[in-house]
């Protein structure tokens, strides 16, 4: 997989920050900042040659939107998905939660286009609405998949908070094969990882897991406190939350650890390239 330039990822975060500032200070479901964020992401993908679609739904009396982007080609009976929720809470710009995941997924998709990558499997990228209201957008997407379309999704990779300022390196433990892809990548970089245990049912992979689709993902931590042992292996500050600005107005572009964002962006690309390349059945 190509290196993902962290400067490019941070440029998307700056855009999300500006969008929030221009739209009442947030990017929350039902607020103009959310749709403006979606339009930004969609514009980049359309320009890069993706086939994009907007899926509309209603939640709490407001219209919500999912953005789905398909990279033309690959075996459409074997789909690899990578996604992130694009909405913030109402209290702020939501740059770590979850601009970080949204920006890294976007930059990985743009890298696919830049490289002219032709994977054996079909790649689909997604940005979810209304995650903060209770995983609403991703659940709507999964619930509206036909059984046939559901059976074609080989994996869903979730990225929700991957740039926390006092980061841990957590790998979802839901599917062993997917977990191994990420764990091995970090091990090769000399970065120890822990399995992510607090998140089951707490982010957008839940709806995919509930219908039997293999899921995986990465996480750098939210409101929980980093232990002394964790600080010894990862650096940062023991006794301090992984993200002290979780769901707060201080979740801005200054609330990002660049090393964590870079490593997780590169790991994300590695996961997409690795899982996208293999085909379990030979092409016709
Ligand atoms: N619920 C997510 C934040 C979150 C909390 N624990 C985990 C574990 C894995 C992924 C995400 C999370 C949110 O506030 O968007
Ligand atoms: Ca990189
Ligand atoms: Zn959140
Ligand atoms: Zn989140
Ligand atoms: Zn899990």
Ligand nearest to the CA of 102: 4
- Is the Cβ atom of 243 under 6 angstroms away from ligand 1? no
Q: Do the beta carbons of residue 157 and residue 178 sit within 8 Å?
A: yes
Instruction: For residues 177-191, give the mean pLDDT.
Output: 98
Ligand 1: atom nearest CA of 199 is 8
The tens digit of pLDDT for each residue in 243-278 reads: 999 999 999 999 999 999 999 999 999 999 999 997
Ligand 1 binding pocket includes 87 (Cβ within 6 Å): no
The answer, yes or no, to whether any atom of ligand 1 lies below 6 A from the CB of 199, is yes
Give the whole-angstrom CA distance, residue 41 versus residue 128: 12
Distances (CA, A) of 157 to 45, 151, 239: 19, 16, 30
d(CA 108, CA 268): 7
Say if ligand 1 is within 6 A of residue 203 CB.
yes
Q: What band does 235 get if pLDDT is binned at 50, 70 and 90?
A: very high
pLDDT band at 201 (very low <50, low <70, confident <90, very high): confident
What are phi and psi for residue 193, nearest 5 degrees? -125, 160
pLDDT given at position 279 = 59
Mutate to test the pocket of ligand 1, among 139, 182, 222, 241 (most ligand atoms within 8 A of CB): 222
Quickly state the pLDDT bin for 199 (edges 50, 70, 90): confident
Burial class (CB in 10 A: 0-12, 13-18, 19+), 114: exposed
Task: Say whether pLDDT at 182 is over 90.
Answer: yes
What residues flank ion ligand 2 with Cβ within 5 A?
3-4, 262, 266
Split at pLDDT 50, 70, 90, the class of 198 is: confident
Pair 276, 123: CB distance under 8 Å: yes
Lookup: tokens for 192: 């120890």
Inform me whether the pLDDT recorded for 159 exceeds 90: yes
- Report residue 284's pLDDT band, with 50, 70 and 90 as the boundaries: low
- 65 - beta bridge partners? 56
């Amino acid at each position: 997989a190509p290196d993902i330039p962290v400067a490019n990822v941070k440029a998307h975060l700056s855009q999300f920050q500006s969008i929030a500032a221009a739209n009442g200070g947030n990017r929350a479901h039902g607020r103009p900042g959310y749709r403006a964020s979606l339009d930004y992401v969609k514009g980049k993908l359309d320009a890069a040659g993706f086939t994009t679609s907007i899926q509309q739904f209603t939640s709490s009396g407001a219209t919500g939107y999912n953005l789905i982007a398909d990279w033309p080609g690959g075996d459409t009976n074997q789909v690899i998905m990578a996604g992130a929720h694009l909405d913030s809470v109402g209290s702020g710009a939501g740059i770590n939660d979850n601009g970080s995941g949204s920006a890294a997924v976007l930059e990985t998709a743009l890298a696919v286009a830049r490289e002219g990558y032709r994977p054996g499997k079909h790649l689909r990228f997604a940005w979810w609405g209304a995650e903060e209201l209770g995983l609403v957008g991703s659940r709507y997407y999964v619930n509206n998949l036909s059984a046939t379309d559901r059976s074609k999704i080989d994996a869903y990779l979730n990225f929700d908070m991957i740039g926390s300022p006092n980061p841990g390196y957590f790998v979802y433990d839901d599917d062993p094969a997917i977990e191994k892809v990420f764990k091995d990548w970090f091990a090769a970089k000399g970065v120890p990882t822990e399995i992510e245990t607090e998140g089951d049912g707490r982010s957008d992979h839940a709806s995919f897991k509930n219908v039997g689709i293999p899921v995986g993902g990465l996480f750098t931590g939210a409101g929980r406190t980093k232990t002394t042992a964790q600080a010894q292996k990862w650096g940062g500050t023991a006794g301090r939350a992984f993200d002290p600005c979780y769901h707060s107005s201080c979740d801005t572009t200054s609330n990002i650890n660049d090393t964590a964002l870079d490593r997780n962006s590169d790991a994300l690309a590695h996961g997409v390239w690795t899982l996208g390349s293999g085909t379990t059945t030979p092409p016709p």
